[in-house]
């Protein structure tokens, strides 16, 4: 059956999102139509506002730049140097302890546990091969540069106290962690891993706060 073109285009775009197939996308499209124009406009405005989100230049967590920095007349290079998320800007955090995670949702889950007071670094979702892609290797190089030049300038040694590899306890996660550990070993005094409070094969994103807190406390 042929649907009006705007509906078909909307369904096609929704179907590209993770965990959404054509059937679910179609249900969502008709649900939005039933909500009415006002609700659809509010949703459209919310999606439009997402365009102001940019990655933190330290950890890559999504953050919103001040309006002054979003001006079309602002210097883009200057914007990139200043953009920090609320965690990276927090002076109460310990800059010499860094946890490397795969995804933004992993960071959110770990932060909710309330057991970690260092900085984070998002490397990006690990491929099924366990080997980092080119853009992830660039992020890793960026982290090395941050450690040497920006995160701990007072130390002057180019080393952190500890780097925690907060990856899922799967064979892929363990393999990736071993590769990244080898790369980061010259830049830290200690490399640790989340404790096995996390069940083998589980995912950080879906673990409860108590489990994640235990995994942090038992890191080794």
Q: What is the pLDDT of residues 131-145, one digit of tens each?
A: 999 999 999 999 999
Question: Residue 114 has what pLDDT?
Answer: 87
Q: Is the separation of the CB atoms in 164 and 99 below 8 Å?
A: yes
- Provide Rg for the chain, Cα atoms: 20
Question: Residue 106 has what pLDDT?
Answer: 93
For 50-180, strand residue ranges (E) read 53-55, 62-64, 94-101, 118-122, 162-166
Q: For residue 30, what are the CA distances in angstroms to 14, 26, 64?
A: 12, 6, 31
Give all domains of the chain, ordered by start, each with its CATH number.
5-51 (1.10.8.420), 91-217 (3.40.1360.10)
Question: Residue 79 has what pLDDT?
Answer: 47
Q: Output the average pLDDT for the chain.
A: 84
Question: Residue 187 has what pLDDT?
Answer: 93
Question: Residue 214 has what pLDDT?
Answer: 65
The string of pLDDT tens digits covering residues 53-74 is 999 999 999 998 766 555 544 4
Q: Is the pTM of this model over 0.85?
A: no
d(CA 12, CA 15): 5
Neighbours of 148 (CB within 10 A): 15
Tens digit of each residue's pLDDT, the chain (220 residues) = 788 898 999 899 999 988 888 899 999 999 989 988 888 889 888 888 888 899 999 999 999 876 655 554 444 444 455 789 999 999 999 989 999 999 999 999 899 888 899 999 999 999 999 899 999 999 999 999 999 886 555 445 568 899 999 998 888 888 999 999 999 999 999 999 886 656 555 667 766 666 676 667 667 6
Question: Phi-psi bin for 208: left (phi > 0), alpha (psi -120 to 50), beta?
Answer: beta
């Amino acid at each position: 059956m042929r649907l009006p073109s705007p509906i078909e285009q909307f369904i096609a775009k929704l179907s590209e999102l993770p965990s959404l197939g054509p059937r679910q996308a179609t249900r969502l499209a008709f649900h939005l139509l039933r909500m009415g124009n006002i609700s659809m406009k509010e949703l459209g405005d919310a999606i439009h506002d997402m365009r102001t989100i940019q990655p933190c230049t330290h950890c890559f967590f999504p953050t919103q730049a001040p309006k002054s920095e979003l001006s079309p007349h602002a210097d883009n290079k200057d914007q990139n140097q200043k953009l920090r998320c609320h965690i990276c800007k927090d002076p109460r955090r310990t800059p010499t302890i860094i946890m490397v995670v795969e995804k933004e949702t992993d960071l959110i889950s770990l932060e909710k546990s309330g057991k970690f007071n260092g900085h984070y670094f998002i490397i990006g979702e690990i491929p099924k091969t366990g080997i980092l892609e080119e853009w992830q290797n660039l992020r890793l190089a960026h982290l090395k540069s941050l450690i040497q030049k920006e995160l701990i300038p007072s130390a002057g040694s180019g080393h952190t106290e500890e780097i925690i590899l907060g990856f899922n306890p799967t064979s892929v996660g363990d393999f990736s962690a071993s590769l990244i550990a080898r790369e980061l070993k010259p830049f830290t005094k200690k490399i640790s891993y989340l404790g096995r409070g996390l069940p083998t094969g589980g995912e950080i994103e879906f673990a409860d706060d108590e489990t994640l807190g235990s995994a942090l406390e038992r890191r080794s």
